[in-house]
Amino acid sequence: MQKFNAHGSSTLPRLADSDGAGEGKENGAGKHFLSKPVEEEEEEEDSSICTKRKMLVGLDVICLCVASIPFFACELKAVTPYRRGFFCGDTSITYPYVEREAIPDGLLIAGGIAITGLTIALGECYRVRFRGIRSKSFVGNRYVSCLYKELGSFLFGCCVGQSLTNMAKLSVGRLRPNFLSVCNITYASINCAPGSYVSQVTCRQPNHKMVEEARKSFFSGHASFAMYTMLYLAFYLQARLSWRGARLLRPLLQFILVMIAIYTGLSRISDYRHHPTDVLTGFIQGGLTAYWVAFYISSMFKPCTRPDLSPTSMSLESPLSSQQTMC
């Protein structure tokens, strides 16, 4: 039975509205029940998106780590190079050991990553700030999204290139031009017949690390890394530097970058660290890696599209994917 108050209005209990505990709905049996509040549904959706974001970032990190395994296996001396012999009287491995290198390892790594990485960072920040570039990736901040995509692609190429280089060094085991000098032996001291193959030799060099390094000639890591970083930066300038005021500025900068890479490789021949074929192979490998990353992994040469900011168009693609960049 309905009850009426003093004003004659019904006093049936009312279900809470959407601003309260929930919204009243009726099921098939005619009974009312309370649905989840809108705030809880939004929180669950945000939590699901955040979880997917973390998974995609973790996947990118795993890919970088897997690509770096051969590189760290060589650098940490976890795997020793193949012990290749030599022919008695071979003059290609009799060059002296030069203590001071023209381009040390530290300068090569710091220069290659710093020059290319800093240029990419400045270029992407400029595009976001002054050209209003937007991204459809899951990263909300446009600056972080663009930097994550381009720098992530560049670093992935570094890992792949150096892993290929170190894998070749370990599996081939070609002797460097200064091998006999590092090993501290001569053909006369080992008493071998000219033209005979010497499969094993006992070095007099107490520094075992130097002897191991003398077996990693093929192919040149300096040439490979320098060509990759400088040529990749040249590709980046081709895609991003669109100023038409000076037509020769961009090709001049690209020429300088390529010349730096070539000089780095040639210096390894002058330092008696590599044979000419080692340097040439390093140039080819670094150039092919730069081309592959720039045109097939990075989004720098992808055509621009008009931004679609509708909620259904937002993609959770990984920033390293070629499908998530709007420009």
Across the range 246-254, mean pLDDT stands at 90
**Residue-level pLDDT at 41:** 60
Q: Which member of 7, 32, 208, 274 is catalytic?
A: 274
For the chain, the structural domain boundaries read: 78-297
β 86-87/24-26 pair status: unpaired
Whole-number Å distance between alpha carbons of 254 and 277: 25
Q: Does residue 146 have a pLDDT over 90?
A: no
Is 7 labeled as catalytic in the residue annotation? Answer: no
Q: Name the DSSP letter for residue 294.
A: I
Across the range 273-295, mean pLDDT stands at 97
Q: Does residue 13 have a pLDDT over 50?
A: no
Mean pLDDT: which of 126-135, 209-218, 301-310 is highest?
Answer: 209-218
Q: What is the pLDDT of residues 226-242, one digit of tens each?
A: 999 999 999 999 998 87
Q: How far apart are the first and last CA of the chain?
A: 68
Give the DSSP per-residue string, 57-99.
Answer: HHHHHHHHHHHTHHHHHHHTTSSPPP---EETT-GGG-PPPPS
pTM of this structure: 0.78
Average per-residue pLDDT for the chain: 81
Grade residue 324 by pLDDT with cuts at 50, 70 and 90.
very low
**Residue-level pLDDT at 154:** 95
- Across the chain, which distance is largest between two alpha carbons, in Å? 124
Across the range 54-79, mean pLDDT stands at 86
Across the range 279-302, mean pLDDT stands at 94
Grade residue 317 by pLDDT with cuts at 50, 70 and 90.
very low
**Residue-level pLDDT at 149:** 86
Give the DSSP per-residue string, 193-261.
Answer: -TT-EE-------S-HHHHHHTT--SS-HHHHHHHHHHHHHHHHHHHH----S-TTHHHHHHHHHHHHH
Whole-number Å distance between alpha carbons of 82 and 171: 6
Residue 156: C-alpha distances to residues 163, 266, 289 (Å) = 11, 26, 10
Q: Does residue 133 have a pLDDT over 50?
A: yes
Across the range 135-158, mean pLDDT stands at 78
Across the range 234-253, mean pLDDT stands at 88
Q: Which member of 7, 32, 222, 275 is catalytic?
A: 222
Q: What is the pLDDT of residues 16-48, one digit of tens each?
A: 444 444 444 455 555 454 455 656 666 666 667
Residue 34's DSSP bridge partners are 24
Q: Does residue 141 have a pLDDT over 70?
A: no
Q: What is the pLDDT of residues 265-275, one digit of tens each?
A: 999 999 999 99
Is 275 labeled as catalytic in the residue annotation? Answer: no
Cβ atoms < 10 Å from Cβ of 91: 9
Whole-number Å distance between alpha carbons of 281 and 258: 16
**Residue-level pLDDT at 46:** 61
β 86-87/32-34 pair status: unpaired
**Residue-level pLDDT at 244:** 75
Whole-number Å distance between alpha carbons of 230 and 287: 9
Buried b (16+ CB within 10 A) or exposed e, 288-319: bbbeebbeebbbbeeeeeeeeeeeeeeeebbb
Percent of the chain with pLDDT over 90: 54
